[in-house]
Amino acid sequence: MRQTDDRAPRGRLKIFLGYAAGVGKTYAMLEAARERQAEGVDVVVGLVETHGRSETERLLEGLEIVPRRTVEYRGASLNDLDLDEVLRRTPRLALMDELAHTNAAGALHPKRYQDVDELLDAGIDVYTTLNIQHLESLLDVVAQFTGVRVGETIPDSVVDESDEIELVDLPPEELLRRLAEGKVYVPEEAADAAESFFRLGNLTALREIAMRRVAQRLDAEMLAYMRTRAISGPWAAGERLLVAVSASPLSERLVRAAKRMSDELKAEWLALYIETPNDATEPELREQALANLALAERLGARVHTLPGSSVAETLVDYARRRNVTKIIAGKPLRPRWRELVRGSVVDRVIKLSGPIDVYVISSGPPTSASRVQLTRPARPWQAHLYSLPPVVIATLIGWPLAHHIEPTNLVMPYLAAVVVVAVYLGRGPAILSALLSVLAFDFFMVPPRFTLAVSDTQYLLTFAGLFIVGLVVSSLAARVREQARAARRRELQTTELYELSRELAGAAGPETITAVVRSHVRQVIGAEAVILLRDADRLNPAPGSEGVDEDELAVATWALDHRRPAGRGTETLPGASHLYLPLLTSRGTMGVLGVGLPEVDGALSATERRAPEAFATLAALAFERVDLAHTANQLELLRATEALQSALLNSVSHELRTPLASIAGVLSSLRGKGGRRDDPGLTPKARAELVETAWQEATELNRIVGNLLDMTRLESGALRMTAEPIDLEDLVGAALAQLDERLEEREVKIVLPSDLPPAAADSVLMVHVLVNVLDNALTYSPEGSPLEITGSRDGSGVRLTIADRGMGIPEEDLEAVFDKFYRTSRDHVPEWIDASRGIGLGLSISRGIISAHKGRIWAERRPGGGTVMSVALPASPGEGESGAAEVS
C-alpha cells in the first residue's frame, strides 16, 4: 500500500503503548511533547482527550492546540479532529491521542490511524497513544481471557511500521487503585464491561502481552541491526508462511495465528482461499471466506484465490510453487465419522506436504460470533422421490429372470439404477436408492422371497457394494458438475474482460471508450459509471460521461492525486456515492473511473475490487492509446506542414530565381558591352532579343509574386471580397486582355448566351481566377491550338468552362491539380511544354477564391484530348433581365 515518493520524507511515528486505559499514556505523551517543545521543536496538539483530568490538562498548557472541527452529521453535531487544519499548519510534530479511535461518520477517513497516516505522508512527525488490546492480531487472545471483544481495532502493520514504541507501564495493582479513586476514564455505556475487564488477572495478562510485544520489537530491531552489520544470527532465512482460509469461523483464528507466527518468525505470509465447487454453489460460504481473506489482507498477508476441487492438493501444490516453508491449517469441525469416511483435509495435507512443516491449530468451541450456518439447506424432496422409479424399473427387469439366473447377477440392474440416480440426482438420492435397491433386492430376488430376512450373510456384501458405488459415483458426479459450474463462472468473467478489451481496442476516441466501459460496468457490476479525465490539474467528465458534484469531485481528485482508490467501499472517504479508481498508466494518471456501487459495509476485499479494477486498468490503457494516437497524429500533421513549408521554400526559391537569373544575365551582358576592347559587341537584333527575354521574365516574376501574395492573403483570411453583379462577357474580356501577348497565335472561341444572368462575384478576384485558369490552359497545350470558352447556366447559377486541346490531366490527378505546389510529373510532359513555368499555386488559389464565393471549380478530361476546367458561380440575386428595361 505504501508507496515511496520523492516528495517530503515521511514523518516519524512514535506510539505510547499501554496495556489498558488509565496507565498514563496520554500523560507520558504530553510530557515527551513538552520536552521536544523545550528543545525548540514546533509542536501542535492535533487531538488530545484529557477526560477532564486536571493533571493531564495542566500538561496541555503552553501547547498549541488546533481547534476542533464541528461536524454536522445527520442532525447531531460532533467535535472532531480538523485534519485539514493540521495539514495546513504543517507542524514538525503533531499529537494524536487514541490511535484506534473510530472517527465520526462523514469524516475524511473512518479511522484515526488513517488520519495519522496522512500526516506522516505529509512529512509531519506524530506522537500517538494505543492500548495493546486494539491490535487486530491480538483480538482473539484478548477476547479469550477477558471475555470482552474489542470493537475498535487497528492493523498490526501500523504498529509494525511505527518508528518508535514507548511502553507506558503501571503495576496492575496501582491501576486498580487509580480506578477505584475514579482517576481512570470509563465511558458510561461501557461501565459493565469495564467491571469484568479491570480485574487483576486480565490486567496482568494484558501487561504481559504488551511487554512481550515491545520485547519482540526490540528483538526485531536487534536483528535488523545485526543484519545491517552482517552479523550472523539465529534467524531462519527465507521463511514463508501459508494459511489456508475458508468459510469456517476457525479461519479468522487461523489468520490471526498466522500473523503472530509470521511476526515472530519475521517471515512473509500468504493467505490462500481455495474456492471449492461447494463454495461456488453457496454464496454465503463464499462471502464468509472472502471476508476472512480480507482480514488476512488487512493483517499484511498477500492473498490469493484459487479454484480447486481438492483443498489439500491445491494447497500443497500452491505452497510448493511459492516456496512456502510452513503451512498453517485448522482442525475442522466435523463429526468424527465423516473424517473416517472421507479422510480429513489436514491429514491429506500432512501426507502431501513433504518437506513443508504443517501447523495444525485446534478449534475451540464454535463462538457465538459465527456468522455462517454450516448446516446445508435441505435439498428439494423431489430429488429423493425421483430416486424411486429406477429401482422399480430394476426390479421389473430382474423379476422375470429371478428363476433362471443366480440372484447375485440380479444385482446388476440395481447397480445401474444407483449409478443413474447418483449421476443425475446427487448424493442423498443415491444413498436412498442404494438403500431401496438393497431392500428390493432382498425382498424380491433373494430367497426366501417377499421377506426381508437375509438367509445368507453374503448379501450384506451386496448391500455394502451398492451403497459405496452410490456414494462414490454421486460425489464424483457432483464434483464434476460443480467444477464445470465454477469454470463457467470464471469463463464468464474472463469472457467479459476479453470482450471489453476487444471493444476498447477498436475504440477510436474517448467517447467510444467511455460508452464501452459504461456499458460493461452496467452489465457486470450492475452499476452506473462515470469517467473523469485529467486536463492539466482539473478533472473533467470524459465526453459521453456525466459529471459529479463538488463533494464527489473532491473524492475523485483524492484518488487521482494519491493514485489510490477512494470513495465507497474503500477506507478513504467511504461516505461517497461512487468508488473512484485512478486510471493508471505508465505515463501517469489519465483520470478516474467512478463506479456507483450500491451501499456497502466497510471496505471491499481485494477480490471484490477485482472487477472494477480490471475495468479501470483496461480503460486506462485505452485512453492512453487514444492519447498517444492523438499525439502521433499531431506529429504527423506537423511533419506534413513542415514538408509543405519546405516544398514552398524550394519551389519559391527556384521559381523566383529562374526569372531573376534571366534578367540578371541579360543585364550583365548589356552592361558588359562597351568598356572592354575585346567585346565582340551585340548586334542590335541580339540586343532586342535579350531585352525581350528579360521583359518576359520580369512579367513572369511579377505574376509569381502576385500569386504568392494572393495565397498568403487567402490563407490568412485577409482576402477582401466584394461580391457584385458581373457579366461573364465583361469578365472574359478583362481576363483575355491581360493575356493579350500570349494569345496572339491562338484561336479563342467564345460562346456566351446573351440571356445569362450576371454572377455574384468580386470582379478583381474573378479576373485573377480566369487568368490563372487560362494561363494553365495556355501552358499545357501546344502553341497554336485553340481554346474554347463557354458560358452556360448551372442550376440557379452560371458556369464558365475553358477547354483546351492540351496534354490533359491523368484521371487520378483531376483533384490533385488544385493542391498547393502540384506540378505535372515531368516524365510525362511533352517537349512543347515549358514545364519550368509556374509554381503550382495558380489553380490552388483559384479554388480558394471560388470557394470563398460559394462556387465550385473542377477539372475534367476532354473527350478527344485536353482538359475542361469549369467554374460555377452563384447568380447575382435579384438580377434578371432588368437591364433590358433600362435600355428601351
Partner 1 sequence: MTDGGLRILVVDDERAIRRLLRTTLTALGHIVFEAAGGIQALHEVAAHRPDVVVLDLGLPDMDGSEVLARLRTWSAIPVIVLSVREEERTKVAALDAGADDYLTKPFGIDELMARIRVVLRRSVSATSDPVFRTGGLIVDLGRRRVTVDGREVSLTPTEYDLLRALVRHPGKVLTHRHLLTEVWGVPYQTETQLLRVNISNLRHKIEPNPARPTYLTTEPGVGYRLHVEE
Q: Using CB under 8 A, list all residues that contact partner 1.
A: 695, 698-699, 702, 706, 709, 724-727, 729-730, 732-734, 736-737, 748, 750, 752, 754, 758, 762-764, 766-767, 789, 879, 882-883, 886-888
Which residue, 528 or 729, is less far from partner 1 as judged by CB? 729
Enter the C-alpha cell of residue 264: 515472530
Q: Nearest distance from residue 859's CB to partner 1, in Å?
A: 23
Q: Nearest distance from residue 718's CB to partner 1, in Å?
A: 11
b/e map 92-123, b = 16+ CB within 10 Å: ebbbbbbbbbbbbeebbbbbbbbbbbbbbbbe
Cβ–Cβ under 8 Å, residues 199 and 246: no
Which residue, 285 or 726, is less far from partner 1 as judged by CB? 726
Query: Residue 326, by phi and psi: left (phi above 0), alpha (psi -120 to 50) or beta?
Result: beta
Residue 514 to residue 462: CA distance in whole angstroms: 66
Which residue, 518 or 746, is less far from partner 1 as judged by CB? 746
Cβ–Cβ under 8 Å, residues 358 and 329: yes
Which residue, 420 or 735, is less far from partner 1 as judged by CB? 735
Q: Where are the beta strands (DSSP E) in 151-193?
A: 164-167
Which residue, 524 or 761, is less far from partner 1 as judged by CB? 761
Which residue, 487 or 721, is less far from partner 1 as judged by CB? 721
Cβ–Cβ under 8 Å, residues 244 and 315: yes
Which residue, 91 or 758, is less far from partner 1 as judged by CB? 758
SS3 732: helix
The torsion angles phi and psi of 185, rounded to 5 degrees, stand at -80, 125
Q: Nearest distance from residue 762's CB to partner 1, in Å?
A: 8
| CA proximity to 568, closest of 538, 609, 533, 520 | 609
Which residue, 279 or 775, is less far from partner 1 as judged by CB? 775
Residue 820 to residue 844: CA distance in whole angstroms: 5
Q: Nearest distance from residue 789's CB to partner 1, in Å?
A: 8
Which residue, 493 or 738, is less far from partner 1 as judged by CB? 738
Q: Nearest distance from residue 722's CB to partner 1, in Å?
A: 9
A 10 A CB-CB count for 656 gives 15
| CA proximity to 273, closest of 294, 300, 256, 258 | 294
Residue 608 to residue 601: CA distance in whole angstroms: 13
Which residue, 8 or 688, is less far from partner 1 as judged by CB? 688
Q: Nearest distance from residue 800's CB to partner 1, in Å?
A: 11
Enter the C-alpha cell of residue 756: 445569362
| CA proximity to 272, closest of 249, 251, 287 | 251
Residue 538 vs residues 532, 559, 562, 592, 807: alpha-carbon distances, Å = 9, 13, 14, 11, 60
Q: Nearest distance from residue 775's CB to partner 1, in Å?
A: 16
DSSP secondary structure code for residue 202 in this structure: H
Residue 221 to residue 233: CA distance in whole angstroms: 13
Which residue, 601 or 744, is less far from partner 1 as judged by CB? 744
Which residue, 783 or 886, is less far from partner 1 as judged by CB? 886
SS3 breakdown of the chain: % helix, strand, coil, rounded to 5?
A: 50, 15, 35
* Owner of C-alpha cell 516524365: 827
Q: Nearest distance from residue 769's CB to partner 1, in Å?
A: 11
Q: Nearest distance from residue 779's CB to partner 1, in Å?
A: 20
Q: Nearest distance from residue 639's CB to partner 1, in Å?
A: 33
Residue 293 to residue 248: CA distance in whole angstroms: 12
Which residue, 307 or 706, is less far from partner 1 as judged by CB? 706
Length of the chain: 888
Residue 150 to residue 134: CA distance in whole angstroms: 7
| CA proximity to 824, closest of 806, 810, 804 | 810
Q: Nearest distance from residue 626's CB to partner 1, in Å?
A: 46
CA atoms 697, 701, 704, 710: torsion sign: negative
Which residue, 194 or 748, is less far from partner 1 as judged by CB? 748
Which residue, 510 or 659, is less far from partner 1 as judged by CB? 659
Which residue, 349 or 770, is less far from partner 1 as judged by CB? 770
* Owner of C-alpha cell 460555377: 872
Q: Nearest distance from residue 886's CB to partner 1, in Å?
A: 6
Enter the C-alpha cell of residue 842: 495558380
| Neighbouring residues of 794: CB distance < 8 A, sequence distance ≥ 6 | 872, 873
Q: How does strand 797-803 pair with strand 867-873?
A: antiparallel
Residue 172 to residue 201: CA distance in whole angstroms: 9
Cβ–Cβ under 8 Å, residues 240 and 269: yes
Cβ–Cβ under 8 Å, residues 86 and 119: yes
Q: Nearest distance from residue 704's CB to partner 1, in Å?
A: 12
DSSP secondary structure code for residue 445 in this structure: I
Cβ–Cβ under 8 Å, residues 277 and 478: yes
On the 0-12 / 13-18 / 19+ scale of CB atoms within 10 A, 341 is exposed
